[in-house]
Amino acid sequence: MRTVTVLLATLACIPLAEARHYSLPATPENVQWGWYDTSEKPRLTVDSGDTVSIETISHSLGQIKPGADMNEIVKLRKENDGGGPHSITGPIYVSGAEPGDTLEIHILRIVPKADAFNFNLPGKDFPTVGLLAGEFPEGFVRYYKLDLAKMQTEFKPGIMVDLKPFPGTFAVGVDPNEPPAKAGPAIRDDRGRTSTLRPWKNGSNMDLNELQAGSTLYVPVFIKGGLIWTGDSHCRQGNGEVNLTALECAYKEIEIQPIVRKDLKTDWPWAETRTDWIFMGYDEDLNQAMKIAVQQTVNWLATQRIVPMSREEAYALTSIVGDCRVTQVVDIRKGVHCMIPKRVFVGYKDAGRPRDRS
């Protein structure tokens, strides 16, 4: 069993036994293409505090790979109409997780595979997919070989890109009260499955590039067992993800540690890194996404107990030090995330994992 840090039993309401380590390979029975189906039998059941190494594969069940040209990519996209292009591994059932709880999910380690790609679909066929779709009618794809020793790839001669892997799509079981689509295809199909296209309160296609190894995601539980999926694995992405895709790759493993939190309630997903707390908002209207992210930031600041403050002070501090960024604009529901730097809390001791608002 891999040694892991489990100094968590006194902080979570679910007692932690000695943690076990599991692996979930990206076999055909463990990977779904573009849909969350909460009626599926879990592929793995773990306890709070256990760790799991999850393998992922690239889009369209691994069919987008070197040699696949734009015609093939378009064909694959149309084959799964309404669903996302993402290949998602899961679901993982976390014992003790109940609706209303929060899952605190530590991303411990990410090991990419060696191949990656980026593409934008032809604007002539997909006029609303990608920020400048009308300016690129033919589409474009390029494949990359990753240097995993140097954690770099060559974009073209003279341009090297450092790799910063993170899961583009990380989800728990879907919100039964997710609102109907305001744009794009329906949220659910006639089988009751939910598309992976959009980010929402359960996480899903967040494309938050700060969710790298060492970060923690807090996400509300909607379904018994939580049900965790991940895919859409990225090896680098700029905020906005403007042409549609990032540096899309796959992982030999993304190692996670889910913790059931019955003492922590959250309405929207949020995250933390060694340096920042990060609060998210998603909506078809970018202004509304910004409003949600700022509201979540203010709510957290006004209720944390590191340095108590009023809502007025929280609003002011968000305006003074909050760094609100456009997460992505290509997933139908656009995303904004607001970052509060931990360093402004004088004397605050990170210890790697600040928990709740205490």
Domain boundaries, the chain: 21-261, 272-344
pLDDT value for 301: 98
Question: What percent of the chain is predicted at pLDDT more than 90?
Answer: 91
pLDDT above 50 for 143: yes
The alpha carbon dihedral of 357, 51, 274, 236 has a sign of: negative
pLDDT single digits (tens) 304-340: 999 999 999 999 999 999 999 999 999 999 999 999 9
**Is 70 exceeded by the pLDDT of residue 285?**
yes
Q: What is the pLDDT of residues 48-94, one digit of tens each?
A: 999 999 999 999 999 999 999 999 999 999 999 899 999 999 999 99
Residue 2: its pLDDT value, please? Answer: 40
Spacing of C-alpha 180 from chain mean position: 21
- The class level of CATH for 21-261 reads mainly beta
Q: What is the pLDDT of residues 251-280, one digit of tens each?
A: 999 999 999 999 999 999 999 999 999 999
Average pLDDT for the chain: 93
Give the closest residue to 169 by CA, choosing from 106, 105, 247, 84.
84
Q: What is the pLDDT of residues 199-211, one digit of tens each?
A: 999 999 999 999 9
* Rounded CA separation 162/150 (Å): 8
CATH of domain 272-344: 3.10.28.20
pLDDT at residue 356 greater than cutoff 50? no
Tell whether the model's pLDDT for residue 13 goes beyond 90.
no
